[in-house]
Structure 1
Amino acid sequence: MNEQSATLAIAADEELEARRKKRRILMIVGAVLVLALVVFGLSRIGGNASDSPAAAGAQRAGQAARVTVIVPGASDVARTITASGSLEARRDQPVGVSGQGGRVVSVLAEPGDWVRQGQLLAQIERSVQSQEAAQIRANVAAAQADAALAKNELDRAKALEERGFVSKADIDRKQAAYDAANARVRVNQAQLGATNARIAQLDVRAPTSGLILDRNVEVGQVVSAGTPMLFRMARGGEMEMRAKLSQQDLNRVSVGMPVEVTPVGSDKVFTGTIWQVSPVIDPQNRQGEVRIAIPYDEAIRPGGFAEARISGGVTSAPLLPQSAVLADAAGNYVYIVNDNDEVERRNVTVGRVDDEGVTIAAGIDGTERVVSRAGSFLAEGRKVDPVREAAAQE
C-alpha cells in the first residue's frame, strides 16, 4: 500500500508540473501576440503617415519619408458667414404708469396676448379723483349760473341806458361783472379738463399694437410713476436677431442681405433680412453688431439664442481636405513642401467647413504643395519624398 501511495503521489506531482509548464507556455504565447499587435499597430501608423511600409522602413533608416501632397488651386466656393446671437423684440416697448398712480383694481392683459393701440391693459383705483371731478363740475355749473345772471343784468342795464335811467359807469361795471363770470366758467372748465386727464392716466393702455411679452403687475399692487414697467411688449410683434461679427466679416455684409436664422432647439429655419449694420466696432473684442429682422413665429422667443448663416456670394479660394488642416494653441495651420522637398508650417485662416472640405480664407494661394494627411511625425525642416495627389477641384 505504501508503494502504491508513493506512486500515486509522484504521478500527481508530474501532472501538476505539466500544468504549470502549459500555463507558462500560454502566457509566453499571449505576450508574443500582444507584442506582435503593438508592432503591427505602430507599423500601421507609420504606414498611414508615409503611405507605404517601404517608406516607413526608409524613415527608420534615416531616409526621406514619403508623404502625399496636393496642390489645391482655387475653387469657386459659396461665401457664407456664420454667426450666433440673441433673439430680441425689434422694438421692445416698456409700458408703465403715466399719472400719479394708485392701487391696481384690474389687469386685463397677459403675456402672449395681441393688443391693439389704445387697448386697456390695467386700471388703477380712481375714487378720490372722481370726487374731485364731481366737485369741479359743480363749480363749473355755479360759474355758468353766475355768468348767466350777469348777462341778464347787463342786458337790462343796456335797455335802461337808452331811456336815461342808467349811467355809462353802471353799464361798464355790469359788463366787467359779466366778463369776470365768464372767466370763472373757463377756469373751472380748465380744472375739470385737467382732472379728467389725470383720471384718464389711471388707465394703462397699449401705446401701439403688438404682442405682450411680459407682465409685472398684480391686482392690489400700489403703483406710481416711479414703479418699473408694468408690461413689456413688442411693437407689431416684430422680432430680430442681434449677431456679433468680426471686423472682417462686418465689411462683407450690408443692409438688405438675406439671412437664414435657426433658433437653438428648433429645426425651423427662418428667412430674415439685415436691417442695420453697426457703424462702430467694439474696441474690447473688435466685433460689430448686425441686426436681422425676422417675421413673428411662436418659435422666436426674445431672450433665446440662434444661429445665423449669411450668404455673401461666391469667392475663389483653396479647398483642402479636412485631414490637411491641423490646429494647436497658435491656431490653424497646414504643412507644405517647399522646392527643396522640406516641410514648412504655414498658418492659415479657415473659412467655410463642410462635407466638401475646408475653405482657406488666408495663408495660402493654392499653388503650394500641401501635405494632404499631415501626421504628427512631421516637423519643420524635415526632408520628405512628396507624392502628388489630384486635387478634388483643380
Structure 2
Amino acid sequence: MIISPSHRALLSLSLAFVVLLSACGKPAETPQPVRAVRTMIVNDVGGSSEREYSGEVRARVESQMGFQVPGKVVRRLVNVGDVVKPGQVLAELDPSDLKLGAQAAMAALAAAQAQASQAEANLKRFTELQQQGFISEAQLDTYVTAARAARAQLDQARAQSGVQSNQARYARLMATAAGVVTAAMVEPGQVVSAGMPVITLAHDGPRDVVFSVPEDLVDAARALLGKSGVVSVRRWGTSEWLPVVVREVASSADPLARTFQIKADLGKAPFALGQTATVRIQAPARVATGLHVPLHAVAEQGGRSVVWLLNPSAMTVQPVPVVLGDVLGNIVLVAQGLKPGQEIVTAGAHVLQPGQKVRRYDPTVAPQAPASAASQP
C-alpha cells in the first residue's frame, strides 16, 4: 500500500499528539516536604507531681457574733475593715422592752422580799406562842412551811431579776477580742432573732491560707499534716514562694463542690486578710514513675493515645502508643511508652506521617515556600 505524502504527515502528527497526551497523563510525584516541628526531651518525674490551687488568707479564729436577745437594731457602729478592741460596742438594739422587763423583775423581787420578811416575822411570833403552849406543834408547822415558801420565792425573784438585768445589757453587742471586722450582715431598723450572726470578727493573731483539694488528693493531703517543705504559697501578683505547714484537713467533703478544705499555717509571712494566694503542694502521682509532657503533644490514633517520637539521627518521626496518668492542667503524666531522654514532637504533630522527614523549628529561619506544581506541556 502506497501512502501519499499528505497521509504520512497526518499520521506523524497523530502519533506525536498521542505521545504528548501520554506524557501529560503521568505527572511527576512531588516529594513530601520537610516539616518544621517543635520538640522536647522528656525527663523522669519520680512519682510525684506539683499541683497548684487558689486559696484565701483568713484569720485562725473568726467569730460570727450575734445578739443574745431578739430586738430591733437601732445602731451599727462599725463597718467592714474596721479595727476593733476588746469591749468595743459594735451594734445596739432598742433597749426599751428590755429595760421594762428589768424593771418588772425588780418589782417582783421587792414583792418577794416583803413576803419573805412577813413570813419570817410570823414564824418568829408563832414559835414563841408555841413555846408558851398557846398553839400546837401542828399549827407552828404551817408557819414554818409558809416561811420556807417565801424564801424560795425570794430566791426565784432574785434570779429572775439578774436574768432581766443581763438581758438589758445584751442590747449592746461588744467585741470579745481585738481584731478586724470582715463582714456586717445587719442594718439599722432590722429586726433580728437571738443568736443570728450580724458581725464577723477576725481575731488578731495567726493567719491561715485556706484552699480546697479534690477527693482523690485528700489522703495525700492528710499525709502532709505538720510536714515542712512540701507546701508553699505566694501572693497574687508576686513570684516569691514561701513555705507553709498544713495544720488541718476537713474530715468531710463540701456538699456542693465535693472538695475538702485545707488550712495551712502562714507563720510570720506578710499576708493581709482576704488576700488571694496560690498554693503549691508536692503530691504523689497515681503511678510510681512517669514523664511529664505537654497535653497538646498527645494525639489519638485508632483509639489509643500516641506521641510522635523523633529519631535524631535520621530526623524522622514515628507514632508511639503511651499510657497516661494524671492530667495537671496543660501537663499530662505518661506512665508507659516513653523513656527519659527521648525526644518527642510538641507542636506540628497534626500534619505528620509515619517516617516523615522533619527538622527542628528555628524561629530565625524563614518558612520554606511550598513546592510549585509541575508545569503542564
Q: TM-score, normalised by structure 2?
A: 0.63
Shift of 1:224: 1.7
Q: Which residue of 2 aligns with 1:165?
A: 134
Are 1:309 and 2:273 counterparts? no
Q: Which residue of 1 aligns with 2:20?
A: none
Shift of 1:344: 1.0
Give the letter aligned to residue 235 of structure 2: P
Are 1:294 and 2:269 counterparts? no
Q: Name whichever structure is richer in helix by fraction.
A: 1
| Structure 1 stretches lacking a partner, 5+ long | 1-58, 388-394
Shift of 1:87: 0.9
Q: State the percentage of identical aligned residues.
A: 19
CA 1:143–1:369: 2 relative to 1, 3 Å: closer
Aligned length: 318
CA RMSD, Structure 1 to Structure 2 (Å) = 4.9
Are 1:100 and 2:70 counterparts? yes
Moved over 6 A (4+): 63-71, 280-287, 313-316, 328-333, 349-353
| Partner Cα separation in structure 2 for residue 361 and residue 188 of structure 1 | 78
Any idea what the Cα deviations from partners look like across 1:154-191, whole Å, max 9, x if unmatched? 22222232222333344233223322322331232232
| Partner Cα separation in structure 2 for residue 158 and residue 66 of structure 1 | 119
**Residue in structure 1 matching 2:92, options 119, 123, 127:** 123
Whether the 8 Å contact between 1:67 and 1:371 is mirrored in structure 2 is no
Question: Mapping of 1:364-383 within 5 angstroms?
Answer: 364-366=337-339, 369-371=342-344, 375=348, 379-383=352-356
Q: Which residue of 1 aligns with 2:211?
A: 242
CA 1:281–1:382: 2 relative to 1, 3 Å: farther
Provide the secondary structure at the position in 2 that maps to 1:166. coil
Give the letter aligned to residue 198 of structure 2: L
CA 1:344–1:282: 2 relative to 1, 3 Å: farther
CA 1:359–1:366: 2 relative to 1, 3 Å: farther
Provide the secondary structure at the position in 1 that maps to 2:163. helix
Whether the 8 Å contact between 1:67 and 1:384 is mirrored in structure 2 is no
CA 1:221–1:373: 2 relative to 1, 3 Å: closer
| Partner Cα separation in structure 1 for residue 256 and residue 115 of structure 2 | 73
Are 1:265 and 2:237 counterparts? yes
Shift of 1:119: 5.3
CA 1:191–1:344: 2 relative to 1, 3 Å: same
Question: Mapping of 1:36-47 within 5 angstroms?
Answer: none
Shift of 1:370: 2.8
Q: Which residue of 2 aligns with 1:151?
A: 120
Shift of 1:69: 8.8
| Partner Cα separation in structure 2 for residue 216 and residue 282 of structure 1 | 23
Q: Which residue of 2 aligns with 1:205?
A: 174
Shift of 1:343: 0.9
CA 1:284–1:332: 2 relative to 1, 3 Å: farther
Shift of 1:115: 4.2
Are 1:335 and 2:308 counterparts? yes
Provide the secondary structure at the position in 2 that maps to 1:165. coil
| Partner Cα separation in structure 2 for residue 211 and residue 151 of structure 1 | 56
Any idea what the Cα deviations from partners look like across 1:92-147, whole Å, max 9, x if unmatched? 4322232122232452575342544x654222231332233223223322322332
Q: TM-score, normalised by structure 1?
A: 0.61
| Partner Cα separation in structure 1 for residue 142 and residue 292 of structure 2 | 101
Q: Which residue of 1 aligns with 2:81?
A: 111
Give the letter aligned to residue 190 of structure 1: A
Q: Which residue of 2 aligns with 1:52?
A: none
| Structure 2 stretches lacking a partner, 5+ long | 1-28, 361-377
Whether the 8 Å contact between 1:83 and 1:244 is mirrored in structure 2 is no
Any idea what the Cα deviations from partners look like across 1:327-356, whole Å, max 9, x if unmatched? 478699641158x97611455668899xxx
Q: Which residue of 2 aligns with 1:24?
A: none
Give the letter aligned to residue 100 of structure 1: P
Whether the 8 Å contact between 1:154 and 1:175 is mirrored in structure 2 is yes
